[in-house]
Each structure stands twice: as C-alpha cells, then as structure tokens.
Amino acid sequence: MIEANILIIGGGISGLSTAWWLAEGGARPEVWDAAPRLGGKIRSHSESGYLTEDAAGILMNFHQEVDQLVEASGLSDKKISRGTDMRRYVVHKGELRPVPMKLPALLKYPYEQ
C-alpha cells in the first residue's frame, strides 16, 4: 500500500532534495527511480587510493538552503573546503585532462585539442 501523498519521479539529487524538503514540511513523499540505485548522475568510486566522481564533486552554497540541507542530513563533517591548489580532471577519449578552475577559462576550455 502506498502511503505517500506526493510521488517524485527521479531519485537524483533534485528528486531526493525535493523529497527531503517536502518531508521537512510534513508531506509524505515517495521517490521512484527507473535505475536500481538512487543518486542519478552523482556516483563516487574509490580505487587505488583515489576518490573519483562521475558528476558533481563541488558544492556551490550560494543559497543558505544548501548549507541547511547539508547540516540537517548530517554531512557537515564530510565537507572539505576547496584548497588553493585544487585541480580537477576529466577523462576525455580515455585520457586524463586538467580542467581550468576559473569560470571564464572553463567556458573557453577546448575539449578538442
């Protein structure tokens, strides 16, 4: 028997955070996803001492709700501040390529080199 009063299709970060906020407001949301795991694009892999992310690895907390969600979900102590020497790479055509960390450079970043 379904006890939810709101059904959310898609259990990526959008669906999961929506469900969390709705539950905070007293609703009973249920999240359905076509995939066998929740998280959508976001997925972490740990291999040979390296942690890699399939998608989001950086949290932009321009809005206070982001901090609120992180704190209320008990993840505050997992946050790592961005270091000045932080580097980001993507695997493109089987090769690891550095990605510019500043937005203007990123927008001009040539993927075909």
Site residues (CB under 6 A) for ligand FAD? Answer: 9-15, 32-35, 40-42, 55-58, 60
Least separation, in Å, of the C-beta of 96 and ligand FAD?
Answer: 13
Please state the closest distance from residue 63 (CB atom) to ligand FAD, in A.
Answer: 12
Q: What amino acid is encoded at 88 in this protein?
A: R
Give 14 or 44: the residue with its C-beta nearer to ligand FAD: 14
DSSP string, 42-104: --EEEETTEEEESS-------SHHHHHHHHHTT-GGG--PPPTT--EEEEETTEEEEE-SSHH
Nearer to ligand FAD, 6 or 55 (CB): 55
Beta carbon of residue 82, minimum distance to ligand FAD (angstroms, whole number): 10
Q: Copy the structure tokens of residue 107.
A: 């927008």
How many CB atoms neighbour CB 15 within 10 A? 19
* Residue nearer to ligand FAD on the CB measure, 62 or 113: 62
